[in-house]
Chain A
Amino acid sequence: MSHNLHQAGSKFLKMMARHSDTIMDAYLAGSLGDHKLEPKVQDKLVKAGVLYRPEPGADLHLRHAVRNLLEEALKDERNRQIDANAGSAVATFKTLAQHYTESRHQGDVAASDAYYRDLSEHVYAFSEGLQHSIRVMWSRINNEFGYVGSINAKIRENELAQSQVSELLSGLEMISFEELADISGDIRELRRLLVSNLQQTITGCIQELGVVQGRLLKLLGRFRHIQGRAKLLKGWLLYTSQHPDYEVANHVAHKQLPMLFNQAECIIAPASVDIQNATHEADLMRQAAQVKSNQLLRNAVSEAQHAESVVLSENEDFELNEHPIKAAVSNYFVHVIDHVKPGADSISALQYLEQEALDYDAESWLYQVIGGYEGLPESQKEFFELDPEFDVLVPFANVVIKDVSVGLR
């Protein structure tokens, strides 16, 4: 039996996963039109109890249980559902507890086990539901009912939340632990579950709900304050526009001046520098230095004003002196062009260095030649060929370039 249930359950969940896009569409939009779904899919989802049609001809809606699951999982703030019905839950506890005691008396271990499991499931679900409700309340308080726009809507939401809290509190008051203690008698498990566990949870919840109630009232006060201000501002603007000749009475002429208008004149003027104070010396010196530099700056500017008129004329030609090592590399390239036939073996860079008796370090010379080659424009580069001569050092396969030679292609 349980195996079958397991299979059917996972099949159902897989079906939901397959149609997750459809379900989320329905969740976000509230309903789904017929044309958005293939008839086959629609049929399947309706049969599985995920979607339903509230009345003939209406769009498809998401079932309440599925919606609740999603709201809970997504921590959706729009979830304002609060189950305040403690009475029926307690009635269920009592009934199940009676079933349990009865089957225990009859010695039916299997049945009593099943009832006990059922009962504990219900108790835990009840506590969890309570805690969930409180969590929902807190999240509403913490974002100040941010999910609705206008201040009036916020006030209405706040009133709804307050009525829900008081309903929850009165529901919790109805739970009589004496009765539950009577039913559980001297059975230890039942006492633990129904009396001590439940009592602990409920006391905690009642305390927290009290705090929630206080916060809600405070928030309501703030909303009303803001609303009062909005009305005040609007009323003031309306009044002044309707009565253009209205003038505010002289409220400061009364003997008793309202504190609101008692504003003193400002009496602090900029202080002067005390040059005798040794502790300020460093700061003052710096300031003085700045003053000086400012003056210099001003002089410079005023001189510029007397500048002679500028005559525009053509610039004389000038040549940039190339760096000697770069010139040597160019000479090397020219040497190659002049003396080496295309494709033939060329004179290597180090040979050239020796031949010309140039006074450069061999390594920098090689770098410069490679750089010179790479620095050529693309159109010239294709006439040359750079042929490195290298050793591979064994243990780490490092490549060492010993020499390069530039040839013509």
Chain B
Amino acid sequence: MLSANGQVLERLLKGEFICRTSDEDSWRLLKNPHYREQIESHLNVLNRTVGESGSGSDSEVFFCGYQTLGDAERKVVSAQFKEIVNSLIPLSQWLMLVQEAEGNDTPLTEGVPIRLNEIQTTIEETPALREELAKLSHFRLFGSQSAMVEGQIKQIFKRLVELGYLLRPNPEKQHYIATGKIDYLYEVIRFINETEALDLEAHAEAASAQGSLL
């Protein structure tokens, strides 16, 4: 049997993200400075380190990064960066679609449950959302061939579970829970926004001001 430390190490080295929703025990262990140091020293042997994103008491995500970067590591990191950037647009469009289908003004965050059936009904009834979904499902990230709403949305959710953005606690039910990897996405957007000075918030405000004027 694996010890708690071993479990954390295994998950990190598998390239998984550890958040409160996906694995609360491991997450708590990493929050504890003493254990975190132990994990860190184990990882350092392999030129790895514990990376984290997000701030605040509950919303932190841990993952495994390189301690020092050589040429080989840089290659891996830049390949991964490309992957993240490529999936950013489909994922953010998906986030918006879920938010609109649920009629919320708050975007999806870690720990929020999604009921696929409810979203599916709303999308089926709203032509604009149906169109959005069809566009979304043909991204390479999701790769759906289906022409029906049900097939498209199920494929998207299946892919998101595979990629670790969602959890499906009960395989017999179409209920999903967002993981900390979703929060990681926001951090990426925030980072791009800040370093490239895109001023995205002003864009959003201008758009909503226009909307209220209309």
Interface, chain A (partner B; CB < 8 A): 149-152, 225-226, 228-240, 248-253, 257-268
Contacts and interface: CB of A to CB of B under 8 A. Distances in A.
B74 interface: yes
11 contacts: A149-B105, A233-B92, A235-B193, A237-B93, A250-B81, A251-B81, A259-B53, A262-B69, A264-B48, A264-B73, A268-B14
Interface in B26-56: 46, 48, 51-53, 56
Contacts of B192: 248-249, 251
A151 B105 contact: yes
A265 B79 CA distance: 10
Interface in B51-108: 51-53, 56, 63-66, 69, 73-74, 76-78, 80-81, 84-85, 88-89, 92-93, 95-96, 99, 105-107
A261 B92 contact: no
Contact of B89 (A235, A240, A258, A267): A240
Interface string B126-170: 000000000000000000000000000000000000000000000
Contact of B15 (A230, A249, A251, A264): A264
Contacts of A233: 92, 95-96, 99, 107, 186, 189
Contacts of B95: 233
Contact of B202 (A228, A235, A261): A235
Given A231-B201, A234-B207, A250-B78, A260 B187 contact: yes
B76 A232 contact: no
B203 A264 contact: no
A237 B96 contact: yes
A199 to B, nearest CB: 36
A230 B190 CA distance: 11
A222 B192 CA distance: 22
- The size bracket of the interface on B is 35 or more
B92 A237 contact: yes
B198 interface: yes
A371 B145 CA distance: 63
Contacts of A235: 193, 198-204, 207
B173 to A, nearest CB: 25
A69 B195 CA distance: 56
Nearest to A262: B65
Contacts of B89: 240
Nearest to B52: A259
Nearest to B77: A252
A306 to B, nearest CB: 37
B92 A239 contact: no
Interface string B176-214: 000000001011111111011011111111011000000
B10 interface: yes
B186 A232 contact: yes
A239 B107 CA distance: 17
B5 interface: no
A152 B46 CA distance: 47
Given A251-B191, A264-B65, 11 more contacts: A150-B105, A151-B106, A226-B109, A230-B106, A232-B193, A234-B208, A235-B201, A249-B195, A261-B188, A264-B73, A266-B14
Contacts of A240: 89, 92
A234 B48 CA distance: 35
Contacts of B187: 260
